Amino acid sequence: MLYRPVLTLARVATAATLLVALLSNPASPGGAPQLRMAEAVAPTLGLRLQLLEARTPQEINQAFAAMAKERAGAFLILADSMFTNQARQIADQVL
């Protein structure tokens, strides 16, 4: 999977990035294996993961608020159709 390259990029992007926010949808059938893979790779790169969950569009906003509070240096969104459908909302949160 792409978790090692993506997390490596997060690590290289700034030497200070130690906390990576990881947004997942626990209702997604494919989420658990993706989450396990990311959890396995992150420590090998010296990264900590801030695990955030969103089952609904409203929870996406709450997840981004938690991410900002913890001052994550980067974020990763696990593949899920709800996140794809809410791409505009997510982009607005980032910008």
Q: What is the pLDDT of residues 16-63, one digit of tens each?
A: 568 889 999 999 988 888 899 889 888 888 888 999 999 999 999 999
Assigned architecture for domain 3-94: 3-Layer(aba) Sandwich (3.40)
Q: Where are the domains of the chain?
A: 3-94
Decide if pLDDT at 2 tops 50: no
DSSP state of 10: H
Q: What is the pLDDT of residues 59-82, one digit of tens each?
A: 999 999 999 999 888 888 999 999
Of 35, 29, 30, 37, the closest CA to residue 52 belongs to 35
Instruction: Look at the chain and count its residues.
Output: 95
